[in-house]
Structure 1
Amino acid sequence: MKINITGVTGFVGQNLSKYLTNKGFIVNGLSLRTAWSFSENTDAVIHLAGKAHDTENISTTEEYFKVNRDLTIQLFNEFLTSNVTDFFYFSSVKAVADSLDQVLDENYPSNPKTPYGKSKWEAESYLLSKSLPAGKRLFIIRPCMIHGPGNKGNLNLLYKIVKKGIPWPLASFENKRSFLSIDNLNFLIFEMLKNKSLASGVYNFADDQSLSTNELISVISAALNKKPKLWKISRSFIEKVAVLGGKIKLPLNSERLKKLTESYEVSNQKIKATLEIQKLPLKAEEGLTKTIESFKNNKI
């Protein structure tokens, strides 16, 4: 089977292309920066390229829509008139919601708030509005936070806190968050590619278990052979400090406190039920430990 992957040089692209190549697939990178066309006899296109969420808020709104929406539309329109059978679009759970009041499944109503989430949602909406020619399939993948060896995301920040021996002062806040190991992501895409009876649709990707930030601190501490330092300071006191921090520009303010302590759980039941699998290869703690061990080896 021949696969074209956009964004093949990124973290997910590098890992997925290596995984599929080892499984016997022929994988070609597809750059959207210059004139492009699908490789001859391509069976599937996996569209990973996109403008990632910018936590520093220096990207313009136009950048998100130009890359995440407009390039996706261009690529999908080419797919519709090509001989390629399957189109995988990597969207995001943030195309649905930036915060949650329940576990996120595929029926949760979309109401993104950021340019990143809105651009992903508008791309999804366009793809889903088009009629697919006979024999073609469309898969919209909504992953939660992806991690793995070589990844330099938000886990690095917590890792550095634990490594320096700094106590986690927000242990009185209990939350649950979903993660996605690159190994589980690779496994799911491979199973989808193999399954020719799989129906088009939207599918959430997440590990089987969700973890609290306190549990995550404990996983990192164990990988570093340290005892977790969890300070259970009064929630009301922390919340008052955060309010004050917003007024006098402290590192901790109410918005940052919410981001650090809120829950964001994602259900993967639909994709597992559709593929008839009971559980993913790696448990959430195993995947996170593997990622943290890579930080140690790279002396991050």
Structure 2
Amino acid sequence: MTNKIVITGESGFVGKNLSKYLIDNSFETEFLSLRNLNWKVNTSANVLIHLAGKAHDVKRTLNASEYFKVNTDLTKELFDAFLDSEIQDFIYFSSVKAVADEVENILLESAPADPKTPYGQSKLKAEEYILSKEIPNTKRVFIIRPCMIHGPGNKGNLNLLFNVVKKGIPYPLASFHNERSFLGIDNLNFLIKEVIENKQVPSGIYNFSDDEVLSTNDVVRIISSVLNKKNKLIAVPKGLINSISKVGDLVKLPLNSETIQKLTENYRVSNKKIKAAIGIEKLPNTARQGLENTIKSFIEK
């Protein structure tokens, strides 16, 4: 049977990469633009993947209501349309930020949700709506919570670190050791394909992340290695860094408290539940391989 898949959010790098991967694996895909106020879901499809959403605003220029209008209200409308259709599977891309902005231990799907930002809160509201509905036995509903996704076309924090290393600027925070989960686009694509094809995977909430965690120091080393440059990790004492960050807060320097927190905090995400559901022990790519692929795509631009 042909798997016909409708995808929202085709303009994002996840949408572009995922649709190409699915087409390469003999799936039929089509895009649905929710910007068109008269949008209608193709009811002859088998799967509806909802990627469209208002992304996390690092510059904090967006009004909170924008997040709820797009991430919550549009998702509700789309989910209602799914329930009224013959489509079997609904895959909603939420975020680990719908649960926690900071993670002390390892984030599991069962963790109580306490998002602090409008982005995370709007994603959680959409999740709560989906979970409040009764799902027919003929349908499956997946809430996917990815951690930081990277891949070709990604312009996030990795790009900033890439430019620091490329320009030969020393990275001064080597005295901080942290552990972060990442999600390479190739692993994401693989997991979505497995969920679609394996009808034994039950509805539910699933974290998506690579198998291994990496420190920011590891990421700098990987970027340096791919660029064939000597890594310039400098372990400036933590006390001195914290003093500099306070000055940075006052005079608006790039090295401020918020930047340092982002670069040095822990954020570990468990992927055990999804791997158990599809019956695998390891994902196709290690976290290092995924990062190397992403960094190579930056060089090829």
Q: Which bin holds the TM-score, normalised by the shorter protein?
A: over 0.9
What are the superposed Cα offsets for residues 36-65 of structure 1, whole Å, 9 maximum, x if unpaired? 222242111000000000101111111100
Distance in 2, matches of 1:128 and 1:57, equals 29
Distance in 2, matches of 1:269 and 1:292, equals 27
State the match for 1:72 in structure 2: 75
- Out of 168, 172, 182, the residue aligned to residue 169 of structure 1 is 172
Percentage of pairs with the same residue: 58
- Mapping of residues 224-239 of structure 1, within 5 Å: 224-239=227-242
Q: Which amino acid aligns with 2:249?
A: G
Deviation at 1:152, TM superposition (A): 1.5
What are the superposed Cα offsets for residues 190-247 of structure 1, whole Å, 9 maximum, x if unpaired? 0000011211100000011110000000000001101111100111111122223323
Distance in 2, matches of 1:18 and 1:85, equals 22
- Out of 55, 59, 77, the residue aligned to residue 56 of structure 1 is 59
Cα pair 2:13 2:152 within 8 Å, conserved = no
State the match for 2:40 in structure 1: 37
What are the superposed Cα offsets for residues 78-130 of structure 1, whole Å, 9 maximum, x if unpaired? 11111111100000000001111111110111100000000000000110111
State the match for 2:286 in structure 1: 283
- Out of 13, 25, 31, the residue aligned to residue 27 of structure 2 is 25
The 3-state SS of whatever aligns with 2:35 is coil
Q: Which amino acid aligns with 1:51?
A: K
Whether 1:89 aligns to 2:92 is yes
Deviation at 1:261, TM superposition (A): 0.7
Distance in 1, matches of 2:58 and 2:164, equals 19
The 3-state SS of whatever aligns with 2:295 is helix
State the match for 1:130 in structure 2: 133
- Mapping of residues 107-118 of structure 1, within 5 Å: 107-118=110-121
The 3-state SS of whatever aligns with 1:3 is strand
Q: Which amino acid aligns with 1:68?
A: N
- Out of 195, 201, 204, the residue aligned to residue 204 of structure 2 is 201
Task: Could you list the structure 1 runs, at least 4 aligned residues long, displaced by more than 2 angstroms after superposition.
Answer: 243-256
Distance in 2, matches of 1:165 and 1:82, equals 55
- CA RMSD of superposed structures (Å): 1.0
Query: Which range moves more in the overlay, 7-16 or 240-249?
Result: 240-249
Deviation at 1:248, TM superposition (A): 3.7
Whether 1:3 aligns to 2:10 is no
Whether 1:155 aligns to 2:158 is yes
Q: Which amino acid aligns with 1:26?
A: E
Q: Which runs of 5+ in 1 are unaligned?
A: none
The 3-state SS of whatever aligns with 1:199 is coil
Deviation at 1:22, TM superposition (A): 1.4
State the match for 1:250 in structure 2: 253
Q: Which amino acid aligns with 2:279?
A: E
The 3-state SS of whatever aligns with 1:5 is strand
Aligned residues: 298
The 3-state SS of whatever aligns with 1:64 is helix
Deviation at 1:255, TM superposition (A): 2.6
Distance in 2, matches of 1:41 and 1:144, equals 32
Distance in 2, matches of 1:39 and 1:247, equals 53
Q: Which amino acid aligns with 1:5?
A: I
Q: Which runs of 5+ in 2 are unaligned?
A: none
User: How does the TM-score come out when normalised to structure 2?
Assistant: 0.97
State the match for 2:271 in structure 1: 268
Deviation at 1:250, TM superposition (A): 3.1
Whether 1:16 aligns to 2:18 is yes
Distance in 1, matches of 2:152 and 2:35, equals 27
The 3-state SS of whatever aligns with 1:28 is strand
Deviation at 1:153, TM superposition (A): 1.5
Query: Which range moves more in the overlay, 214-223 or 30-39?
Result: 30-39
- Out of 216, 221, 224, the residue aligned to residue 221 of structure 1 is 224
Query: Which range moves more in the overlay, 238-247 or 171-180?
Result: 238-247
